[in-house]
Amino acid sequence: MKHGERGQSEVIGVVLLLAITIGAVTVTVATGSAALGLVTDEARSASVENGMSQLSSQSSLVALGETDARRFDLGSVDGGQLRLDESAGRVEVRIENGTDTTVTYNGSIGTLAYVGDRRTVALQGGGVWATEGGRGQMISPPEYHYRGETLTFPIVRLTGAESSPASGTGVVRRTAGNSSAVAETENPLRNGTVVVEVESEYYEGWYDFFVQRADGTVTKDDANRTATARLVVPEEVSFDRAITLEGEYTHKSNNNGLSESKYTEQAVHRSPASMIESNLQDSADSSNLSNCFDSGSACTSGTYYASGDVAVDERVEFDTSDGDIEIAVDGDLDLGGNELEIANEGDGVVRYYVNGSVFANGDATVGTTGASIEARRNQFYVREGFLEDGPGQGNVDIDAVVYAPNSDTDLAGNVRLRGGFVFNSLATRSNAFTVEQDEALEDIEIRITGGPGQNPLTYLHVSENVVEIDFDR
């Protein structure tokens, strides 16, 4: 190699080395700057998050009348932007009952948000929320309390004169609320479903909160950015007629059928499916039903469970002297032509929760050994059909309360129904059947509740509580 060529190589090497060094330093500085920016943004967000949580507590105290005003400090907000939007976030509370809907509350609740480079922290509805990576999350819960069968929802609505405040300090004050925004609710609730729907940028956080606390069916709608909780109001079913139908009564014979005083049509009732599923879950670890039906002696107080279809093959006698009896069948219950009767006097009840259908034929009997009608003491909650099979029923005698609103009951033969019965529809084929109402049922109601994740709601208290945020200048 010539001397000139060697000197040129040394220069090129130095240049390459400098280029590599400069590149490495540039990458290091850029990476370090990004990391420092991330740490700084997280630190500021954490500081504001803490301040928002304190403001949440203070605004709730003010909103609920514990004090007239409170000062607050959100910490350093220089690294982001504060935004107060009175129209951001909307809550609707309504009661759905069949085709009728009563809106208890529907309005904007306002949002105070700190918008950082990567993370947004916000106060809304008395709770603190955040978005990061495109998903909302809850930091601290809103003012929403579900206890027993009571929902208390004091909605905290934010107002303020400054939409883009520069300061993170100020005073939160109580103002006169818009009382017309809340419709008075008649408690206790009778029927239907209470729906709480929140439309919000932080709807996923609200969804997570409802899942944890709402004790109801919870859904979210990504397209409309809403989270919805549904809480079931127990249905109180009364019996002013022997037969109650949602559909129609038809008589498939040339002879006269039931008189109109015996039945009513177009009565909508909730499916017992959820309540039956709940009882099946609660009963799964109980005594096997064979210990009741095949015991050879009177079946006594307690809960009995069957994991599939059950066919009764002998007379079953019940003794409720020491308490009620509950029978949970995760399938069909075929009574065959057997007797199922309560032998003792008193008020003890046998309740059947059937996740399928109930069949009977021959000389099947359900009732008590007493001479009078005691329909209330035998109660059936049936998910599907009750005596739907028509021909071949024979001399069936049912002295009971039967709640089977999905059943298209078809009666043939010498069938006698005494008590109170809820079906979807009823067809009769001859005059060899009788229907009698138990007048004692006019003074009682049965209660249809929800199931797993559908705890009953009886009392609803919704209020709007308006607070004003006044920032320091």
The string of pLDDT tens digits covering residues 348-377 is: 999 999 999 999 998 999 999 988 889 999
> Which one, of 236, 150, 166, 249, lies nearest residue 449 by Cα?
236
Phi, psi of 314 (to 5 degrees): -160, 170
Residue-wise pLDDT tens digits, 73-127 = 988 777 789 999 999 999 999 998 877 899 999 999 999 999 988 889 999 999 9
Residue-level pLDDT at 38: 45
Which among 382, 473, 464, 398 is positioned nearest to 158, based on CA atoms?
464
Residue 464 has pLDDT above 80, yes or no: yes
Is the model's pLDDT at 199 over the cut of 90?
yes
How many beta carbons lie within 10 A of that of residue 466, not counting itself?
Answer: 19
**190 residue type, one letter:** R
Cα(61)–Cα(40) distance, integer angstroms: 32
Domain extent listing, the chain: 46-234+456-471, 235-448
Most confident by average pLDDT, 40-49, 310-319, 384-393, 430-439? 310-319
Q: Across residues 414-435, what is the average pLDDT?
A: 89
Neighbours of 325 (CB within 10 A): 21
- Greater pLDDT, 44 or 187: 187
Cβ count within 10 A of residue 316:
20
Q: Specify the pLDDT at position 29.
A: 45
Identify whether 188 is preceded by a cis peptide bond (ω within 30 of 0): yes
Q: Using the predicted structure, report yes or no on whether residue 255 has a pLDDT greater than 50.
A: yes
Query: Residue 148 CA to chain centroid, in angstroms?
Result: 13
Report yes or no: 113 and 87 within 8 Å, Cβ to Cβ.
no
Pairing status of strand 397-411 against strand 378-382? parallel
Q: Which letter, b or e, does each residue of 40-49 get, where b requires 16 or more Cβ atoms within 10 Å of its Cβ?
A: ebbebbebbb
Q: What mean pLDDT is predicted for residues 343-351? A: 95
Phi-psi region of 148 (alpha: psi -120 to 50; beta: other; left: phi over 0): left
pLDDT of residue 204: 96
Task: Report pLDDT for 175.
Answer: 84
Give the residue ranges of DSSP H helices in 117-170.
none
The pLDDT value given to residue 64: 86
